[in-house]
Structures are given as structure tokens and as C-alpha cells.
Amino acid sequence: MWTKETIHELVTRQKQYFRTNETLDIDWRIRQLKRLKTALSLYEDDLIAALMSDLGRSETEAYLADIGSVIMEINETIQGLKRWARPELHLSGLACFPSIFTRVYKMPYGTSLIISPFNFPVMLSIGPLAAAIAGGNTAVIKASSKSPATTKALQKILSDIFPEEYVAVVDGGHDIADLCLEERFDKIFYTGSPKVGSHVMEMASHNLTPVALELGGETGNWAIVRKDAEIFDAARKIAFFKIMNSGQICINVNQVAVEESIAEEFIDCLKSEIGRQIGTDPLTNPEYPHLINHDAYDKCAAQAAEYADRIYCGGHGDPDTLRFEPTVIYPVGTDEEIVKHELFSPLLPVVPYKEDEEDALLDIIASREHGLAFYLFTTDKARAKEIMTTQQYGGGCINEVCLHLMVKGVPFNGTGHSGMGAYHGEWGFREFTHPQTVLTGSTRFNLPLREHPYSGLEGDWKLKALKIFQR
């Protein structure tokens, strides 16, 4: 059981370990990343069993979304780290003469705190950890109490390969998270809701600790299916994504806006695709994940009951297994409560809109909190570019869902209520390092331009010279 005293002792030991400078060596960091990758493979069965216990996820989905994706990210980090960590060399410029060279070192922050969520408890713990290791930091992971089996598995795995003064996993609820936040960490990485994100920022502000936040977005992620879209393709991909993890995904489609002339055809395809992919009775399909706990189930069931008269398909659940069917709700207006907040469930409101009111729809979306993701289905490339480059969101796809998360070399995160900072690959390395500029001065040929006096003839020629150098 963690207490204020034991957490403080842990953080103190991590700070002392960081000051040994062992984590600064790039080759040493790469060795730790390789150990982490090997451990994920060795303990793969344990992690899959834990994800099944916590979320009811099948082996394939667990590997696809949690284990395999983070192994890919570690591989990218191992391959690129020496290049990313190389100091940048800059010419100092005439204004700094006789200095010739200035270097930018990528320095670790020190001791980091990673607060991970329940929905992807492996990927969203190990992914930020890989970035922290790459940056040369020590790390305390506060894992979610809502996914206890995975938290226990992570504790076993990481304690087997790393000493606690380097990497440690802390379990417990919000009270334990607050005890961690009271400590003076050097970097905090939090994944979760905007409400808790603002609390994390407030706590971090007491020590002026820099934070990175990955948040779902207060009003959820929109998908728009235009009249010219490939309707079946859009329905197939949206159905797949809504089924995954029972909709408990921060970048999932929260609501779909469909041009009204194709809306009924779209929801027919959506219903058909849900049945094809997960069966006509998802509640008895062992491959279909469940909601994380009874509170999440009850919230989902209550929201579905409010729209019982507009449920097109789904709408049933089993409180014993915590499974709730993928549920299409149609029609829903843009001003209704269900499309004004993140659902984090298998409910999918479908909003029909008139073709000539597309700009008004985009204005409504833009007026709400920025989503973590945005999806557009259309065959009009020019219109796609116009929409995707004028809306504000974390990241997104045209005629696809979620795969932008898997692309090497690109950043991932949101903006505003959907997050701040960025990570994955080199962007994660940057997130966990501070660019430290160091100019190398000269002991010879120094000119007295910057020194007093600034008056008289001497001051006049200094000013003229400065205006030349600093023009």
C-alpha cells in the first residue's frame, strides 16, 4: 500500500539515481529500450490475459492495439535515438563574434511521472515510458486502478527488468495519484479526461512542472460522411472502430454527421457491418470487449434509454458481463446533449445535415472544444484538403479511421481540451527532453562593442558597428 512517505522516498531515490548521470549515455538508453522490448515479448501471454480480464479484449485486439503498436514504437525509438539525441551545431553569427559555434544539447528533464488510463493500459503506459527512457529520464508510472490485472502485470514486468530507482509502477486510486502529484517531479505526462487534466495542471503549477496532456476532448471526435463518399467503405471502417474496445478509445468516432440524402443508406450499411464484424448477438460473442466497470455500463445504458425511441440498432446490454451492444442512434440534432460531450462507449449518434449547410455544421464543430481526432469521408480531394486544413483537432484521417496513430515519424496529441504537447517516436523524445543552448566563447579577439562607455566618439562607433552586425 502506497503512502505519502513511501512515494516521497521513491521519488527521492529516483532523483538521486538520476544525479549519478548513468541515464545520460545514449548507448545505455538503447540497451534499456531493448530490454523493455524483449520483456513485452516474453510476457506477452500475461499481458493478453490481463487485458482480457480487465476489458474482455480478444488476443488479436489486445496485440493489435496495445502490445504490437508499442513494440513498433520502441523499434522506431531504438533506430532513431542516436540521431535524435545528437547535439545540434549552429554558427553563432556576427553579433556573437568572436564566438563561432553554439550547440543545442537535448537534456533529460530528470524524474518523470506518467499517469496512464484504463482503456489502453499497456500502450499508454509503455509508450510514454519508452519516450521517457529515450530522453534519459527516470520514471514513476501511476497505473490505473480501473484495470487492476494489467497494472499488476506491468508491476511484475517492469520490476523484473528495471530497479525501482529507475522505473517503478505505483498502483492505487485518485488519492494515490494526488500523492504523486504533490511530489516535485521534473516532467508529468498524463492521459485521461479534460476534467482530470485541468486538475493535473493545477497540481503541477505549484512546482512549475512542465506537463504533457493527452485528453479525449470535452465534446468528442466528429466524423463527417459527405454525399460523395464511398458509403459502404465509410460504414465498414466506422463500425470496426466503434466495436474496438467497446468504444472506449480517446480517438474514437463520438458522433457521425451524414449528408441527409445518403443517411438512411449509411445507417443500413453501418448496421450490416456491425453484424458482419461482431455477429448478430454481440453480447454473447467472446471477441466483443466489455465496458470497464459497472459505473461505465450504467452510464451507457442510461444514455441509451434516453434515446430509446431513436435507436436504429443495438440498445441492449448485459450488466453481468458489462457488454453493451454497438448502438446506432438516428436521427440526432447538432444541439442535442448526446453530441455535446465525449461518450466513451459503444453508442454512436448519427446527425443528418443538408448539403448546403455543411459550412454551418463545420462552424458548429469549430465552436466547440477541439477534438483529439477528426475524420472525413469524401472523394472530393480539394474539399477534403480545405476542410482538414481549416478545422482544429489533434490529428485525423481522410477516408480512414485511427491509422494516423500508427504512422512513424509523426506527432500524436491534441490541442486545448484534447491535450497539449506531442509524442510518438522523435516527438516523444522531444517531449521528454529540454533543448539546452550552449555557446562556446573565445578568449581572443574579443571586441569591446557590448561594454561601456556608450557615449562620446567611442559610443558612436560602437552603435554604428552594432547596427551593421545586428541588421
* Active-site annotation, residues: 214, 250
3-state helix, strand, coil in the chain (%, to 5): 50, 20, 35
Residue 64's CB is within 10 A of a number of other CB atoms, namely 14
| Cell numbers at 18, concatenated | 538520476
Residue 317's CB is within 10 A of a number of other CB atoms, namely 22
What is the residue type of 61? E
DSSP 454: -
Residue 89: is it exposed, middle or buried by C-beta count within 10 angstroms (0-12/13-18/19+)?
exposed
Which helix H or strand E contains 249, and what residues bound it? none
What is the residue type of 179? L
Strands 327-329 and 311-313, by their bridges, are antiparallel
Q: Under a CB-based contact definition with an 8 Å cutoff, are residues 371 and 419 in contact? A: no
DSSP 87: P
C-alpha dihedral (277, 279, 280, 283), degrees to nearest 10: -120
Phi, psi of 415, deg, nearest 5: -145, 140
**What is d(CA 392, CA 212) in angstroms, rounded to the nearest whole number?**
18
Q: Under a CB-based contact definition with an 8 Å cutoff, are residues 168 and 141 in contact? A: yes
C-alpha dihedral (448, 453, 458, 464), degrees to nearest 10: 70
Residue 115: is it exposed, middle or buried by C-beta count within 10 angstroms (0-12/13-18/19+)?
buried
Residue whose C-alpha cell is 554558427? 91
Q: Under a CB-based contact definition with an 8 Å cutoff, are residues 114 and 139 in contact? A: yes
379 three-state secondary structure:
coil
Contacts of 261 (CB under 8 A, 6+ apart): 227, 355
**What is d(CA 231, CA 258) in angstroms, rounded to the nearest whole number?**
10
